[in-house]
Amino acid sequence: MPELRKDPIIGRWVIIATERAKRPDQFSSKTHEGPPENSCPFCEGNESQTPPEIYAVRPGNTPANKPGWQLRVVPSIAPFLGIEGDLDRHGKGLYDLMNGIGAHEIVIESNKHIDDMADLSEEQIAMVMSCYIDRMKDLEKDERFKYVLVFKNHGWTAGGGRVKHSRSQLIATPVNLKRVKEELVGARFYYNYHERCVFCDLIKQELESKDRVILDIDGFIAIAPFAARFPFEVWVLPKKHSCDFTRLDQGMRLDLGKVMKKVLMKLKKGLNDPPYNYILHTAPFRREKVGYWKSIDYDYHWHIEILPRLTRMAGFEWGTGFYICSLPPENAAKFLREVEV
């Protein structure tokens, strides 16, 4: 069972892996190993190479764990957190820890061996978004979980695996993540003063100035954020206020598929298939039960942050959360606007 430990000074939770822990001497090796490219456990026909599926889109009602699917969700074979057991939060002197309860699922985004989400169809990407929503709604039923982190690692330097088959990950956690909390608190702070959503204001200002707008279609806006941390960082936001990604209706899911396809294609074509991550930022579970989060419906606004990884992170960026972005976001937006897709 992995362990969740809290930094006693700043309150940051960390997962200390035990299941996937390596021996100390394994870290000194500088070679990487992985399965050969010709054996992909995520391709149609190789269902037996993954754990049994949790969820699948099977238009022909084919049996589980057999061919005939368009999208599958399976548990991670090396989960960061374990699904079995009760939460056991306790202290150890001044330290706080918890057994590592959680869920860790892999969304296999296509039955074909396609590497980048940019190369999936708009409809297929919309299906991935719908899958996130279905899985999040299902995981919310588990009272132990406070949040589901949805993210993608594309390319080796972005933390992607050796097998080049487009997929994303869901991690359900029994704690609220520091960065999520910071965003909620920041948005609340702004709302308390202005009685307006900071994201809505930001969208309005961006649409007026246009300098940082990459796309403005179908109810969504893609921008290079004003205080970008990374060159070509892109945020995708619904123009209409909503704190909760899982409330997206079918029409908006299709529109989101279209926008994500365009943004990812622009990055791929303009920047020569860069490694990237994206992370979904949405409201936490059971917020109506937590007094402090009750007004999230008004003050928070879900969005997706796409972070291309084209530059190395310097030491102080890791250690301080203080970033240097070597490209003004206005220049990045102009460049991406002009990439034809």
CA distance 68 to 223: 38
* Cβ-based nearer residue to a copy of itself, 291 or 319: 319
Distance in Å, CB of 45 to a copy of itself, minimum: 29
Distance in Å, CB of 62 to a copy of itself, minimum: 32
Distance in Å, CB of 69 to a copy of itself, minimum: 25
CA distance 24 to 283: 38
> From the list 238, 257, 274, 284, which residue makes contact with a copy of itself (rule: CB under 8 A)?
274
Report yes or no: 156 and 275 within 8 Å, Cβ to Cβ.
Answer: yes
- Range 56-115, binding a copy of itself (CB under 8 A): 80, 93-95
Residue 194 buriedness (CB in 10 A; 0-12 / 13-18 / 19+): exposed
Report yes or no: 156 and 128 within 8 Å, Cβ to Cβ.
Answer: no
Rg (CA), the chain: 20
> From the list 69, 132, 145, 199, which residue makes contact with a copy of itself (rule: CB under 8 A)?
199
* Cβ-based nearer residue to a copy of itself, 41 or 159: 159
Closest to 255 measured CA to CA, from 268, 237, 270, 269: 237
193: contact with a copy of itself by CB under 8 A: no
312: contact with a copy of itself by CB under 8 A: yes
CA distance 208 to 278: 26
CA distance 283 to 136: 11
- Under rule CB under 8 A, how many of the chain's residues touch a copy of itself? 95
* Cβ-based nearer residue to a copy of itself, 257 or 274: 274
- Range 220-239, binding a copy of itself (CB under 8 A): 225-229, 231-232
337: contact with a copy of itself by CB under 8 A: no
- Which of the stretches 10-18, 116-124, 127-135, 282-290 binds a copy of itself when contact is defined by CB under 8 A? 10-18
Place of tokens 């899958």: 131
325: contact with a copy of itself by CB under 8 A: yes
The helix/strand/coil state of 138 is helix
- Which of the stretches 51-59, 135-143, 146-154, 243-251 binds a copy of itself when contact is defined by CB under 8 A? 146-154
Element at 75 (helix H, strand E): strand 71-75
- Range 17-36, binding a copy of itself (CB under 8 A): 17-18, 20-25, 27-30
> From the list 31, 48, 61, 326, which residue makes contact with a copy of itself (rule: CB under 8 A)?
326
Report yes or no: 334 and 230 within 8 Å, Cβ to Cβ.
Answer: no
